Amino acid sequence: MIETDRLLLPSLLDNDFYKFTMQHGVIKLFPHAKTRYKFINRGKHSFPDGFAKALRHAVNSMTGLRLTGEEKKYLAITCPYLDPTYLDFLQGYCYNPEEVKIGQEGSELSVTIEGYWYRTILWEVPIMALICELYYQLNHLHHISNEQISRINKEKIEKYAELGVTIAEFGTRRRHSYGVHSLVVEALKKYGGNTFVGTSNVHLAMKYNTKPIGTHAHEWFMFHAAKYGFKMANSLGLEHWTNVYRGDLGIALADTYTTDIFFEQFDKKFSKLFDGVRHDSGDPIEFAQKTIRHYKSMGIDPLSKTIIFSDALNYDKVARITDYCKGKIGMSFGIGTNFTNDVGLAPLNIVIKMTEALPENQPWIHVVKLSDEKEKYTGDEKTIHLAKEILEIE
């Protein structure tokens, strides 16, 4: 059996920043909503005997995580747009493992999550990180040395610096381990200069004195579709975001129901108010072309806006995107697995996605995501078909 104490997360803040910013919004706007999430094994990975038991132990151990006074002070100073009432709530928050069901049949792992959205929203990222770390340890798969990991990431960030771009680290969910993740951010901070602008991991942002990066994820718009309908999901999702943050955290995620549908609803008000958009699926050059055309059609200089590219990036993709976008539109890059799981082993291809939502005074409703890549669609086939019909997606 694995030494499970090594898997304990070091902090309640060992999570992606957008989980906390969305949680803040959910508490303000949808305190009665409930949600369900499901683990999806995209890579068809086989999990060894005893995996579910080890994961159960690790999840149960998360009940001991609490926001410390020092962490609360850090959030208050670094993120002034988070209400003091939210920080008080977060200081009293604790994970409830009863919200998480874990099972295993043969080599197949099942994980489901259910409860109030303002609580369950924090589970996805740390559970995925624990699944990855357990997978490598229970399979006795050893990574390259710590010195090699630091050197590789030093070389990577120096190459990105030569491109003249800015880079953030987005790799918490599919990291090899917490130890590797910490080494990566340490190297990026040490050698990145002005090229490295921050990390999505709030704990490591605090630890290495860099910026926590993030806004919202697909589930924000998926819930809005459940509550208000597919046609209103993007516009009301954006409207509610601006009501909560009043201009802060101004990068909009574009591909929950395809980029084309998003830009139809991203009117002049939103186009001017939001600082830019995030690309997370489909061809990045096509996305850049659509974004530039959209801003020009609104009479907005694309160079005053930014695209955050974050879809399975590596150096070659970043170089290709940079070559196209330079002088046309602002850009920055969020790189995940290529930073935090480049250790000589194959990374896992896994996700945890919201599957159903229970808005106040409504029944449970299936939710779906229709990315620009059909392979990234999530949800049941009936609801996917209904969403495509309503939104008139081919």
Q: Where are the alpha helices (DSSP H) in the chain?
A: 17-29, 51-61, 69-78, 84-92, 117-120, 124-138, 146-163, 178-192, 202-207, 218-228, 230-245, 259-265, 268-273, 284-297, 315-325, 337-340, 381-391
Domains of the chain in sequence order: 4-142+348-388 (3.20.140.10), 146-340 (3.20.140.10)
* Residues 172-196 pLDDT 10s: 999 999 999 999 999 999 999 999 9
Predicted pLDDT at 300: 98
CB 366 within 8 A of CB 383: yes
Q: Which residues pair with residue 378 across a beta bridge?
A: 369
The pLDDT, as a whole number, for residue 7 is 61
pLDDT for the residue 6: 55
pLDDT along the chain (394 residues), means of 10: 61 98 98 98 97 97 97 98 98 98 98 98 98 96 96 98 98 97 98 98 98 98 98 98 98 98 98 98 98 98 98 97 98 98 97 97 95 92 97 92
Pairwise CA distance, residues 171 & 334, whole Å: 9
Q: What integer pLDDT is reported at residue 4 of this predicted model?
A: 47
CA angle 249, 254, 256 (to 5 degrees): 115
Please state, in angstroms and rounded to a whole number, the distance separating the CA atoms of residues 151 and 145: 10
What's the helix, strand, coil split of the chain in %, to 5?
50, 15, 35
